[in-house]
């Protein structure tokens, strides 16, 4: 039983100094923890705990390249902060569970984010809908093509290990899968947090039964992360997508946390965080 998990809601807890940022192009931000930060470790000590600073100091860390898409109302600037706990858990777990036949001390995320082209509240979104309509019951996503073009322009140029989406960002990934427009399946798989069924592409999703597995890499991997207390998107909608992708030939896994719509945070009893980390590391080991 998973207990005492909560969604990542307070972005102000994570200081900007904790990330090294370089602008790739307008509204695309890459955040990475790497050896270039070693010279400024002293200035980071006030915002990083002792364990994290030690892990950051490792020159033998392996970087996992992640393309991440924020949810409705989010931004490219704040979204990596939602993944702070996952990155920290990944570094800690991998550092403490080193195989005898590897010199790698820890594994870290290198995150590239893209910002939705449409304004919403204090952030951005990937498409617009009439008042009261939700992505899981909408007949169309107005602006989807503009967003798809923007995301695919980055996706096809980068060699990403994982493609991760939250809420509307995850629905965008699911829609691209339904339309068979992904430039490639990332070897580390897809992670979808708080996702719903992309209703406008129901017919295309139902036709995914024709997906042929890649003989060299096997089925594309997808991990669904769902909050038991999610009152934004019903779990049943995400589970509907899970079932149809599984029938379409994807290797599907899922985990549930006791929180709501946000990405789970690290906690002493955060079994779900360990599950996500192990899922990532398993695919990392299979590739090497």
The CATH number given to whatever domain includes residue 123 is: 3.40.50.1820
- What pTM, to 2 d.p., does this model score? 0.78
pLDDT digits (tens, 9 = 90+) for 101-133: 444 458 899 999 999 999 999 999 999 999 999
- The reply to whether 26 falls in a domain is yes
Show the domain range for 160: 18-287
- The reply to whether 3 falls in a domain is no
- The reply to whether 180 falls in a domain is yes
**167 within 8 A of 261, measured Cβ to Cβ:** yes
Instruction: In whole angstroms, give the CA distance from residue 180 to residue 36.
Output: 38
Q: What is the pLDDT of residue 283?
A: 84
Instruction: In whole angstroms, give the CA distance from residue 26 to residue 204.
Output: 32
- The reply to whether 156 falls in a domain is yes
Side-chain-side CA neighbours of residue 37 (13 Å): 23
- The reply to whether 216 falls in a domain is yes
Low-confidence ranges of the chain (pLDDT < 50): 1-28, 31-58, 100-104, 212-216, 268-269
- The reply to whether 114 falls in a domain is yes
pLDDT digits (tens, 9 = 90+) for 10-53: 222 222 222 333 333 334 455 433 333 323 222 222 333 444 44
What is the number of structural domains in the chain? 1
Structure tokens at 137: 């019951």
- The reply to whether 5 falls in a domain is no
In degrees and rounded to multiples of 5, residue 31 shows phi and psi of -120, 135
Q: What is the pLDDT of residue 218?
A: 64
- The reply to whether 104 falls in a domain is yes
């Amino acid at each position: 039983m998973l207990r005492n998990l909560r969604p990542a809601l307070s972005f102000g807890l994570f200081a900007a100094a904790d990330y090294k940022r370089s602008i790739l192009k307008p509204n695309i931000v890459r955040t990475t923890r790497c050896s270039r930060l070693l010279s400024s470790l002293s200035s980071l000590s006030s915002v990083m705990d002792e364990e994290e600073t030690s892990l950051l100091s490792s020159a033998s860390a392996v970087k996992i390249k992640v393309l991440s898409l924020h949810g409705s109302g989010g931004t490219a600037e704040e979204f990596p902060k939602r993944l702070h706990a996952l990155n920290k858990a990944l570094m800690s777990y991998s550092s403490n569970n080193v195989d005898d036949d590897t010199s790698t001390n820890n594994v870290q995320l290198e995150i590239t984010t893209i910002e939705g082209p449409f304004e919403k509240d204090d952030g951005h979104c990937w498409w617009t809908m009439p008042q009261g309509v939700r992505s899981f019951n909408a007949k169309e996503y107005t602006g989807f093509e503009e967003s798809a073009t923007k995301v695919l322009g980055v996706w096809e140029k980068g060699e990403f290990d994982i493609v991760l989406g939250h809420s509307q960002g995850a629905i965008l990934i699911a829609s691209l899968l339904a339309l068979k427009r992904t430039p490639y399946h990332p070897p580390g798989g897809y992670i979808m947090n708080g996702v719903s069924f992309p209703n406008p592409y129901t017919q295309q999703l139902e036709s995914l039964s024709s997906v042929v597995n890649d003989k060299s890499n096997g089925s594309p991997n997808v991990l669904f992360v769902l909050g038991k207390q999610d009152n934004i998107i019903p779990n049943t909608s995400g589970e509907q997508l899970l079932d149809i992708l599984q029938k379409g030939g994807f290797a599907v896994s899922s985990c549930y946390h006791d929180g709501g719509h946000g990405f789970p945070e690290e906690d002493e009893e955060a079994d779900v965080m360990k599950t996500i980390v192990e899922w990532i590391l398993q695919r990392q080991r299979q590739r090497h």
